[in-house]
Structure formats: C-alpha cells, structure tokens
Amino acid sequence: MALHRPKVHYWNLVEAIYNWQAMDLYETAAVCVGEMGEAEKIRKFRPAPKISIIHATRGRPQLAWQKRWQWLSLAEKPLEIEWLFMVDHNDPIDYTPHQAIRCNPGGIVNAWNAGAKIAKGEIIVQMSDDWTPPRHWDALISNAIGATSEEKVLAVSDGLRADKLLCMAIMTQSRLKKQGHMFHPDYQESDGIYSDNEFTERAYAEQAVVEARHIQFKHENPMFTGGNPDEQLKNHNKPEYYQKGKAIYEKRKANNWV
C-alpha cells in the first residue's frame, strides 16, 4: 500500500494491486488477527458505495470468497461496491475473513432481506454462490438503471432462460422501500422457491422493470451446467419446497400479495 505504481508498464503488472486489492487484503488480514482499528482505517478510505451485493451463503466459505474476489476483479470501480456476506447464526463455519453478518432467524430469504435492510448502496443486488458477471458489470448495471431516485428493477439475462423470470433481484433503494423487503418472508418456508416468481410478477405489474437483457450474468448452477450438486443444492431443490413455494405464491396472489 505504501509503494507507488511503477512508472514503467511491465507486461505482468497487476494494476488492481495499486488501488483496491492491497487495501482489501490488508483489511481482511487485520480482521483475521483482531486488529479492528486497522480495518476501520481502511474502510474510511473507501468512497460511499454505489452498489451493495447481498451475498447469502452457507457451507461454501472458499467458493463464496472466490466469487467475491472474481466479481470485484471484474468491476470497473470495486471500491464503490459494498459486499455483505449473510450467513445463518448457527452455521459452524468460521466466516471471520468474510466479515460475515450472522442472521437469526437463519435461512436464505431471511439472509437476503437482512442484508438488504442494512445495505448502503443506491442499487441492491441479490447474490448467490453460483453467479459469474461480465466485465465492468457495475458500470453496466448503473448505466442501464439510470436515476436511482426512482423505483426500478433491472431485468438482466442469465444466459439460459427465455421467459421473463427475474432470477437475480437488482433494484434501487426506492424500490426496496416500496416492497419492504427483497423477497416476502413467507418464502423462507420454501427455501426461497417461487419468491422470484412473485418478485417478477409484481415488478412488471407495477411497471418498475427496466429491460437490460443484453447484460448477461452466467448462472453456473450444476443443474444447468451438468456438474455435481452439493448437499446445500440438493436440499434447496427438494420437491417439497417447490410444492410449498407454489402454494405460498398462489395464496399470496389470490390475496393481492397481502
């Protein structure tokens, strides 16, 4: 962090180490050894966040960290991104390096909602362990969504779906306040299944959607890529959750989402 960027451009120069990476690594190291004062100094150097990533994760600490590093490395302005790791209060894994926030009650929907509630960014983005963004994704999102003072939901592509389902929630703070949550808490009973159906339908019905399907975030779910699902994914895709989710969705829709 004390070194100046070389005046000569070497072929193997890692540009990012002279802006965000050194600061990020130092903050992480400080947290890991309990030097919270040093970590706080680094945080004060950062500008106000433009985008908040709400990353709900469980049981995959290394993958979750790798995804964060990948996303920040591909961002145009990584220092303007707030990354919130949200984990269950009873998850036995040590998430100290992640500076994770424990959620009680736990569960994926509760985690996303808890993270969205404390997010400081003008734009809120839902994140899981199996998404890969395009280069300069933050600029693409900001440019597409435009004025963040309005209630907006951004419709992007996952590279797979041909329907209108919004499989990644991207919204302004104004939209979040209107909804009161990222996903309705009732969908915790279905481990989030069908929560995106309600999110999508209401956003279109209320004309809050900004179409930006040219922006593609790859959904590298083993169900789509042919990989081997882990226990977390197997549990998430239990048939009973789809049944519960559909029942919750249909009941809430019949009651005008009340």
pLDDT of res. 254: 98
Q: What is the predicted pLDDT for the residue at 202?
A: 97
The model's pTM is 0.94
The mean per-residue pLDDT over the stretch 35-52 comes to 96
Give phi and psi for 127, each to the nearest 5: -135, 140
Are 186 and 243 in a shared domain? yes
Instruction: Summarize the confidence of residues 88-110 as an average pLDDT.
Output: 96
Residue-level pLDDT at 123: 98
pLDDT of residue 156: 98
pLDDT tens digits for 108-157?
999 999 999 999 999 999 999 999 999 999 999 999 999 999 999 999 99
- pLDDT category at 183 given cuts 50, 70, 90 is very high
pLDDT grade for 172, boundaries at 50, 70 and 90: very high
Question: Span 176-189, mean pLDDT?
Answer: 97
Can you say how many angstroms the Cα of residue 48 is from the centroid of all Cα atoms in its chain?
Answer: 18
Does residue 6 fall inside a structural domain?
no
Asked if residue 1 is part of any domain, the answer here is no
pLDDT 10s digits, 209-246: 999 999 999 998 777 777 788 888 888 889 999 999 99
Q: Give the residue numbers spanning the domain of 240.
A: 50-220+230-254
- What pLDDT is stored for residue 75 in this prediction? 98
Q: What is the CATH number of the domain that holds 242?
A: 3.90.550.10
Give the pLDDT confidence score for residue 223 in this predicted structure: 72
33 and 111 in a common domain: no
* Claim to verify: residue 109 and residue 130 sit in the same structural domain: yes
- pLDDT, position 231: 84
- Tell me the pLDDT of the chain averaged across its residues: 95
Q: Measured between alpha carbons, how far is 244 from 192 in angstroms, rounded to an integer?
A: 10
Residue 54 has pLDDT above 80, yes or no: yes
Report pLDDT for 180: 95
Do 72 and 179 sit in the same domain of this protein? yes
Nearby residues of 244 by Cβ (< 8 Å), 6 or more positions away = 189, 190, 193
The H-or-E segment that residue 127 falls in is strand 123-127
Mean predicted confidence (pLDDT) in 156-172: 94
Domain count, the chain: 2
Q: 145: which residues sit within 8 A by CB, 6+ positions away?
A: 123, 152, 154, 170, 172, 210, 212
Phi/psi class of residue 171: alpha, beta or left (left: φ > 0; alpha: ψ in -120 to 50)? Answer: beta
Q: Are residues 38 and 59 in the same domain?
A: no
CB 56 within 8 A of CB 236: no
